[in-house]
Amino acid sequence: MSISGTASYADLAATLPQPVLRAVELAERLGFDQSCRPEHGRLLQALAAGAAGRIGETGTGCGVGLGWLLAGRRPGVRVVSVEREAERVAAVRELFADVADLEIVHGDWTAIGAHGPFDLLVLDGGGNGKQSAPADPDALLTPGGTLVVDDLTPLTAWPPTHLGRPDTGRTAWYDHPSLLTTEVRLAPDLATLLATRRP
């Protein structure tokens, strides 16, 4: 979820994978401006291509990040996305009704747990298990599985701070004993954490 993320797709229509284009058009129609940015979407597409089993996402929104995952996944790889807003769930279900091996679940982020474990899990949206690491990677990821925590400002010092306080929402992932975690800078103002569950 990125503030003004939907607007970042202006003038990119000709370069977008079809599922992403459809989702961006839906976001524009519904006035949803918090879609993942293209820089993050391209990373999701590449990561999805490496998943052999299941892919999970929290915070479907209007399906833009989901569209990137669908554009990258291998045939037969199941994708489950959870969204807490019923209107968006209905709209994205209709948008991707023709897509096999996809389930859009209505619920808060914790509903993803019933559908795992995942080879790739994207924690997105608000109230979704990103802060202070309430999501349990041992339960949600397969051994060697990848966790994506998006929409961070790039790290410039250690330990990281947010609004003048220790950024425990970030350090919890670095400190988790089951994870190997690194940060990827996607733009001057955008970073993502990638964490792999230790085998």
CATH number at residue 187: 3.40.50.150
- 1 within a domain of the structure (yes/no): no
Using DSSP, state whether 111 is helix, strand or coil: helix
Amino acid at the residue 101: D
- 164 within a domain of the structure (yes/no): yes
- 82 within a domain of the structure (yes/no): yes
Residue 169 and residue 160 in contact, taking contact as beta carbons nearer than 8 Å:
no
Residue percentage of the chain with pLDDT more than 70: 94
Helix (H) or strand (E) holding 144: strand 141-152
- 189 within a domain of the structure (yes/no): yes
What value does the mean pLDDT take over residues 70-81?
Answer: 98
The pLDDT value given to residue 126: 56
In whole angstroms, give the CA distance from residue 63 to residue 183.
Answer: 24
Task: Render pLDDT for 127-165 as a digit per residue (tens, 0 to 9).
Answer: 556 665 578 999 999 999 999 998 888 988 888 887 888
pLDDT band for position 125 (50/70/90)?
low
Q: At 42, list the tokens.
A: 């391209």
Could you list the residue range(s) of the whole structural domain that residue 76 is in?
Answer: 6-197
In whole angstroms, give the CA distance from residue 126 to residue 124.
Answer: 7
The pLDDT value given to residue 128: 56
Residue 38 and residue 9 in contact, taking contact as beta carbons nearer than 8 Å:
yes
In the predicted structure, residue 94 carries a pLDDT above the cut 70: yes
Mean pLDDT of the chain: 92
Name the more confident of 127 and 192.
192
pLDDT band for position 169 (50/70/90)?
confident
In the predicted structure, residue 1 carries a pLDDT above the cut 70: no
Q: How many CA atoms does the CB half-sphere of 65 hold within 13 Å? A: 34
Provide the domain count of the chain.
1
Name the more confident of 4 and 50.
50
Residue 148 and residue 109 in contact, taking contact as beta carbons nearer than 8 Å:
no
